[in-house]
Amino acid sequence: MAKKLKAEGKPILAFSAGEPDFVSPDAAMNAARAAIDRGETHYTANSGIPELKTAIAAYYKKHFGLEYASGEILVSSGAKPLIYEALQALVDPADEVLVFAPAWVSYVEQIGIAEGVTIVVDTADTGFVPTKEAVERALSSKTVGMILNTPNNPTGAAYDEATLRMLADIAEKNDLWIIYDEIYERLVYGETKHHNILNVAPGIRDRVILINGVSKAFCMTGWRIGYALGPKDVIDKMDDIQGHLTSNASSIAQWAAVGALEGAENDVELRRAEFEKRRDLIFDLLSEIGGLKLAKPTGAFYAFFDVRETPIPDDVEFCKQLLAEKYVALVPGAAFLAPGFVRMSYACSEDDIRGGVARLKEFVDALR
Ligand SMILES: Cc1ncc(COP(=O)(O)O)c(C=O)c1O
């Protein structure tokens, strides 16, 4: 609908993007150009070029003190296919997988493609963090694993150490694996720290598949480079699946990712600081709108607010009417297993944030 209105010349302000508005760092661009000039245009090893695996291992050692060998790392065309491959490797038909709602759209679909069953643990009314009781209630003899995502898309919440320890304990006691999607790990704000679950619970290394990549923090969504780190037997299976699917990720993009990991730390911090400013701005502005309920996001680049106490408690209807009347595009929470909520991405300019929230305020004020 937003695209149609835009094509009609309407002044659409879109806050639906799941990607940074910044271009990729120079270090990535230069490494890609150099790779083209060297003629790095052939198939690479299915699991990734050794240089990139070395850079990924060095990154995990530096940031988390974790040691991963080359055979425990798999590079793919973005983080998304890695979650798919992990699920294909780990889920048999009718196996149950816990997903913590609100959740990123692809988890449920990918579990379905693996013929698994998604069991939703809702965190909408517990501050977007799961409680032990809720997780234990969701377990059955068919549960094989869980997907965790912190910092979270769409909520912007980051799990604290106690929550991660609780989840790690449950995984250990019930023999579950964990797909740990930490694609937004560099984007945390204020006092908030991102915790790698293996720093909190080192004993569960054999049951954790870490998912990360250059898409978000390094502003490289279009290059399509993600990586998984995990126990060799699982990584081997994922590697086999990938071998019959895409084969290696783009050779040039892999070199760009080497450039980013080795030379773009400053860019990551500068952009993180920029997102933090926008986070503060959008939170302050949204907080002035009566009827919307929201917690201050602590990570990623999304504000996620509750519209259940407005005159339009249905999130899809809320977004439709807002778009039709004020030309502001947001994403209904229903897309994230969270009806009654709405996601607003702040991966855009401060001017757009001010303009978009002003229109949103006019819309909500006029409802009363
Ligand atoms: C939580 C989460 N995981 C994974 C991905 C996929 O990342 P990539 O673009 O590297 O495939 C996204 C992208 O939106 C995401 O939000």
Q: What is the pLDDT of residues 295-305, one digit of tens each?
A: 999 999 999 99
In this prediction, residue 368 carries a pLDDT of 84
Please tell me the residue having the least CA distance from ligand 1 atom 14: 18
Q: Band of the pLDDT at 71, cuts 50, 70, 90?
A: very high
Q: Is the CB of 78 under 6 A from ligand 1?
A: yes
Q: Band of the pLDDT at 339, cuts 50, 70, 90?
A: very high
DSSP assigned state of 264: -
* Radius of gyration of the CA atoms of the chain, in A: 21
Q: Is the peptide bond before 151 cis (omega within 30 degrees of 0)?
A: yes
Percent of the chain at pLDDT > 70 equals 100
Give the ligand 1 atom nearest the CA of 152: 1
Residue 283 has pLDDT above 90, yes or no: yes
183 CA to middle of ligand 1, Å? 7
Q: What is the pLDDT of residues 7-25, one digit of tens each?
A: 999 999 999 988 999 999 9
Kindly report the number of other CB atoms within 10 A of residue 3's CB atom: 10
Residue to mutate, 216, 218, 227, 301, ligand 1, most ligand atoms under 8 Å from C-beta = 216
Q: Is the CB of 146 under 6 A from ligand 1?
A: no
Rounded mean pLDDT, 40-46: 98
Residue 344 in tokens: 């607003």
Max Cα–Cα distance, the chain, nearest Å: 63
Q: Is the CB of 79 under 6 A from ligand 1?
A: yes
**Reported pTM:** 0.97
34 CA to middle of ligand 1, Å? 27
Rounded mean pLDDT, 127-155: 97
Among 167, 165, 146, CA closest to 99: 146
Q: Is the CB of 227 under 6 A from ligand 1?
A: no
Q: What is the pLDDT of residues 149-167, one digit of tens each?
A: 999 999 999 999 999 999 9
Percent of the chain at pLDDT > 90 equals 98
Contact present, 18 and 345 (Cβ < 8 Å):
yes
Q: Is the CB of 154 under 6 A from ligand 1?
A: no
Which DSSP string corresponds to 158-206? ---HHHHHHHHHHHHHTT-EEEEE-TTTT-B-TT-----HHHH-GGGGG
Mean pLDDT taken over the chain: 97
Q: What is the pLDDT of residues 77-132, one digit of tens each?
A: 999 999 999 999 999 999 999 999 999 989 999 999 999 999 999 999 999 999 99
Q: Is the CB of 341 under 6 A from ligand 1?
A: no
Give the amino acid at 167. L
What SS3 state is found at 253? helix
Q: What is the pLDDT of residues 186-200, one digit of tens each?
A: 999 999 999 999 999
